Amino acid sequence: MYATLGLLESIGLGFAAILVVVVAIVIVSVVLSAIKIVKEYERGVIFRLGRVQGGPKGPGLFILLPMVDRMVKVDLRTVTMDVPPQELITRDNVPARVTAVIYFRVVDPNKSVLEVENHVLATSQIAQTTLRSILGQKNLDDLLTNREEINEELQKIIDEQTEPWGIKVSVVEVKDVEIPQNMQRAMARQAESERERRAKIIAAEGEYQASERLRQAADRLESPTALQLRLFQTMGEIATEQNSTIILPIPLDLFKPFLESQNGSSSYGQGVRAARREEEEEAERLYEEAVGEATREVSSEEVPTEMPNEMPNGEANP
């Protein structure tokens, strides 16, 4: 009988010890759950029996009332979120696939918890809807060239829509615009045609300037000697670049001295010599005529000096 009582007492002590351990564990877990640590980049929104207790708390250590208070932590850091690719049709009926990225952060933790269930998901959905709506009103050329204006417009609209949730959208960037392959080929042909047009305009402008310079050079090279020197200089420049046969028109005046020095077999030389003989003969004839006239004038001046020796009647003076 005493043994049975001792056994029952030991069993009771064991259950009591187990109960004490369980109660201690529960108390420790409750105390630990009541202690909250809010980091520097976080804020805590405390609910006491379902009501918000003032503004956001943190950073630091906070002790809540067990089973009464509940804290919701909100991250204040900037969130980078990729907007899923959106299929749209531009204003000029061109299908396109657009991707974007959005940067936002929480500026009012209370509103981000009270006004919307999941502020990240809500911001993503509103960004997708705004992206399709705004880009669908733009032409493809504006979508490809006016990226900065489109980004500013998207940022302004999304920020206005998320402001009641305590969300500040800082940047919205359109990352990529994908268009069909046939449209890409058409745009490539258009760009190529535009480059060809510019090249032709530049070439025509160069020809015009070259013609102006050539006209000025021609005015300076009115002298045949200067023209010949320029011709020789051009031939020298061409000869130094590559060994090849060069055919250039050369004025015959350059070879006139050589043609004059040739034998009589040259018709050109004979004509030149005949013309020279005629000129010499003409010069001699003119010289003889001039000498004859001068002689006659001298003779007519000497005759009156001899006439006084004759008589008035034509007889000689004795």
Q: How many CB atoms lie within 10 A of CB 213?
A: 10
Between CA 181 and CA 179 the distance in angstroms is 7
| pLDDT tens string 10-33 | 666 677 778 888 888 888 887 888
Average pLDDT value for residue range 254-267: 56
Q: Are residues 65 and 102 in the same domain?
A: no
Residue 261 falls inside a structural domain: no
Q: Are residues 87 and 154 in the same domain?
A: yes
Residue 47 falls inside a structural domain: yes
pTM of the model as a whole: 0.57
Contacts of 173 (CB under 8 A, 6+ apart): 100, 101, 102, 151
DSSP states of 103-120: EEEES-HHHHHHT-S-HH
Count of domains forming the chain: 2
Q: Which domain covers residue 64, as residue numbers?
A: 28-74
Q: Which helix (H) or strand (E) holds 31?
A: helix 2-34
Q: Are residues 69 and 157 in the same domain?
A: no
pLDDT value of position 315: 43
Q: What is the DSSP letter of 30?
A: H
CA distances from 176 to 43, 49, 144, 151, 247 (A): 35, 48, 9, 12, 59
Is residue 89 within 8 A of residue 139, CB to CB? The reply is no
Residue 207 pLDDT class (50, 70, 90 cuts)? confident
pLDDT value of position 249: 66
Average pLDDT value for residue range 240-264: 62
Residue 56 falls inside a structural domain: yes
Between CA 135 and CA 150 the distance in angstroms is 8
| pLDDT tens string 135-192 | 989 888 888 888 899 999 999 999 999 999 999 999 999 988 888 888 888 888 888 8
Is residue 38 within 8 A of residue 62, CB to CB? The reply is yes
Residue 138 falls inside a structural domain: yes
| pLDDT tens string 27-46 | 888 788 888 889 999 999 99
| pLDDT tens string 48-91 | 988 998 889 888 888 888 888 889 999 999 999 999 999 988 88
Share of residues in the chain with pLDDT > 90 (%): 30
Final residue of a structural domain among 131, 154, 179: 179
Ramachandran angles phi, psi of 117, nearest 5°? -70, -50
